[in-house]
């Protein structure tokens, strides 16, 4: 089983839609969780950290479910500019090195 | 510097040659990571340096790959006897280990390696 797993998509949604991505992780001892965004042929950039109680940043909401070992990202009122690949990041087994999921591709259309 | 700097940005080499890729992390960042990303694929962890601790080399795909970090700052990733399957973008990232911003990675723009 991969340490971090994501549905690769693509998710094709119209502008204004709400879309949610999940990411599962295998290390129950993981403490650090993040969502990164990667645009085509660019480096990944931090979108938001994920806190135990859940957190929101504008149209973006991240949640952590420790019991089921997954994190989620909800995007409300999707914009064309949200089109990108969303990467889930978790610290790995027995170490604090950061492991990336393969990413979920989002395409927002007019 | 203001960001993570990587060089060269592009490197084309012939199969069998050695290449060196350089990463200059953000000043004060104690953690440094190398990842590899093949076209259309996710990020593959290669190696992780944290302060003076022994590096985590668990992601290096073969003994042709090595990396070092001198003086806790600049890092060099070396690939010996390059193969065509080594073609990828090599991404370096750095982070603080503690305090605000801990474990938040800042990436360089990457070094795109093409092995002919």
**Two tokens at B29?**
């960042």
Q: Do A100 and B42 touch (CB under 8 A)?
A: yes
Q: What is the pLDDT of residues B58-106, one digit of tens each?
A: 999 999 999 999 887 999 999 999 999 999 999 999 998 765 567 789 9
pLDDT in the model for residue B10 = 97
The rounded mean pLDDT for chain A is 92
Task: List, as ranges, residues 6-65 from B with C-beta within 8 Å of A.
Answer: 33, 35, 41-43, 45, 48, 50, 56
Q: Please check whether residue A18 touches B, CB under 8 A.
A: no
Q: Do A87 and B43 touch (CB under 8 A)?
A: yes
Q: Rounded to the nearest 5°, which phi and psi values hold at A87?
A: -110, 130
pLDDT in the model for residue A88 = 95
**Residue B85: strand, helix, or coil:** helix
How many other CB atoms are there within 10 angstroms of residue A34's CB atom? Answer: 22
């Amino acid at each position: 089983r991969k340490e971090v797993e994501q549905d690769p998509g693509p998710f094709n949604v119209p502008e204004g839609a709400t879309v949610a991505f999940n990411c599962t992780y295998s290390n129950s001892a993981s403490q650090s969780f993040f969502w990164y965004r990667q645009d085509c042929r660019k480096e990944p950039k931090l979108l938001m950290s994920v806190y135990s109680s859940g957190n929101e940043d504008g149209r973006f909401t991240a949640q952590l479910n420790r019991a089921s070992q997954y994190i989620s990202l909800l995007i409300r009122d999707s914009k064309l500019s949200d089109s990108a690949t969303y990467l889930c990041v978790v610290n790995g087994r027995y170490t604090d090195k950061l492991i990336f999921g393969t990413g979920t591709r989002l395409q927002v259309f007019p | 510097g203001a960001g993570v700097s990587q060089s060269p940005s592009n490197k084309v080499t012939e199969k069998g040659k050695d290449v060196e890729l350089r990463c200059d992390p953000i000043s004060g960042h104690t953690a440094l990571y190398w990842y590899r990303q093949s076209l259309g694929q996710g990020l593959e962890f290669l190696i992780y340096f944290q302060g003076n601790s022994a590096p985590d080399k668990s992601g290096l795909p073969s003994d042709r790959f090595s990396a070092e970090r001198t003086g806790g700052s600049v890092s060099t990733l070396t690939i010996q006897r390059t193969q065509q399957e080594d073609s990828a973008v090599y991404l370096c990232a750095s982070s603080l280990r503690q305090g605000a911003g801990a474990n938040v990675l800042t990436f360089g723009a990457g070094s795109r390696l093409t092995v002919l």
